[in-house]
């Protein structure tokens, strides 16, 4: 089973709302990732968690707040977003971070629209 | 930040033909991975090639890696209409970041 599950699949939120995206994997992976993808563009790395600790933050604005409550779950808390934050948000996981044999598995993504 | 360039940006072929996509990157890597993305969907992992490997096969897929030229290629043989998708290379940098190239849009006509 190489499944990464993301919820919700679609989310519409106002600029003053607070919402969260959720990601779950049961592969025993200890590295989890958030990516953002705009239409017709490649995914861009936002955050990396390794052993439930934030390892990489790619200078993401503070209106995006990641959280890793345990080794299976990864959340992305959203607050005061802008319309330009509308995108597909992809979660991914791998056994560990930075290993040469590290296959990184992606979920189906959450489509976010900010109105 | 984006690591690499892919070429071509778009490729249109007939069913049964082979499709070749190229990827170049800039820094040292642990591995290079290829993904497929159907329109509006998530990324499907196709193949991983480690930095000390030169070629790998998986079904109709053949991937090569030339670390001296910092480049890779993905060959899909005997293409099918169902192969229509965007294909991305992604390099796993030494610090554990997976950085994507710009992607190739492949269209396979029946």
Write out pLDDT tens, residues A31-71.
Answer: 999 999 999 999 999 999 999 999 999 999 999 999 999 99
Chain A residue with minimal CA distance to B29?
A100
**What percent of chain B stands above pLDDT 70?**
95
Select the more confidently predicted residue: B107 or A102: B107
Q: Do B103 and A48 touch (CB under 8 A)?
A: no
Lowest mean pLDDT among A53-62, B1-10, B33-42, B85-94: B1-10
| Any B CB within 8 A of A100 CB | yes
| Any B CB within 8 A of A55 CB | yes
Dist. CA A81–CA A64, nearest whole Å: 8
Chain B residue with minimal CA distance to A98?
B96
Q: Provide, as residue numbers in chain A, all residues whose Cβ is less than 8 Å from the Cβ of B94.
A: 98
CB A80 within 8 A of CB A73: no
| Any A CB within 8 A of B30 CB | yes
pLDDT category of residue B1 using cuts at 50, 70 and 90: very low
- Phi first, then psi: what are they for B81, rounded to 5°? -55, -35
**What percent of chain B stands above pLDDT 90?**
80
Q: What is the pLDDT of residue B103?
A: 95
Q: Is the model's pLDDT at B2 over the cut of 60?
A: no
Specify the pairing of strand B104-109 against strand B10-14: parallel
Chain B residue with minimal CA distance to A101?
B50
Q: Do A42 and B95 touch (CB under 8 A)?
A: no
| Any B CB within 8 A of A91 CB | no
**In the predicted model, what is the mean pLDDT of chain A?**
94
Q: What does the pLDDT look like over B25-62, one tens digit per residue?
A: 998 888 999 999 999 899 999 999 999 999 999 999 99
Q: Do A42 and B43 touch (CB under 8 A)?
A: no
Q: CB-based contacts of A96: which residues, under 8 Å, 6+ apart?
A: A29, A30, A31, A50, A102
Q: What is the pLDDT of residue A98?
A: 80
Nearest Cβ partner for B100 among A6, A43, A101: A43
Average pLDDT over residues B72-88: 97
Q: Is the model's pLDDT at A2 over the cut of 60?
A: yes
In terms of C-beta density within 10 A (0-12 exposed, 13-18 middle, 19 or more buried), how is residue A39 classed?
exposed
pLDDT category of residue A105 using cuts at 50, 70 and 90: very high
Q: Is the model's pLDDT at B80 over the cut of 90?
A: yes
Q: Is the model's pLDDT at B7 over the cut of 90?
A: no
Q: For an interface test with A, give the residue of B96, B99, B102, B104 to mutate (most A CBs within 10 A).
A: B96
Q: What is the pLDDT of residue B3?
A: 58
């Amino acid at each position: 089973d190489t499944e990464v599950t993301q919820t919700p699949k679609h989310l519409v939120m106002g600029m003053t709302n607070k919402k969260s995206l959720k990601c779950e994997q049961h592969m025993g992976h200890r590295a989890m990732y958030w990516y953002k993808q705009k239409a017709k563009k490649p995914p861009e790395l936002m955050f990396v968690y390794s052993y439930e600790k934030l390892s990489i933050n790619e200078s993401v604005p503070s209106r995006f707040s990641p959280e890793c409550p345990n080794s299976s779950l990864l959340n992305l808390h959203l607050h005061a977003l802008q319309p330009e934050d509308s995108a597909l948000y992809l979660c991914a996981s791998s056994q560990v971070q930075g290993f040469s044999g590290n296959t990184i598995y992606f979920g189906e993504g959450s489509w976010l629209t900010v109105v | 930040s984006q690591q690499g360039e892919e070429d071509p940006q778009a490729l249109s072929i007939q069913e049964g033909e082979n499709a070749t996509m190229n990827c170049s990157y800039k820094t040292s890597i642990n591995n290079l991975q290829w993904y497929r993305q159907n329109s509006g969907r998530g990324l499907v992992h196709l193949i991983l090639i480690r930095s000390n490997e030169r070629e790998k096969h998986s079904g109709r897929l053949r991937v090569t890696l030339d670390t001296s030229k910092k480049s890779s290629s993905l060959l899909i043989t005997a293409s099918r209409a169902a192969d229509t998708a965007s294909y991305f290379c992604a390099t796993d940098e030494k610090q554990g970041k997976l950085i994507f190239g710009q992607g190739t849009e492949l269209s396979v006509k029946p």
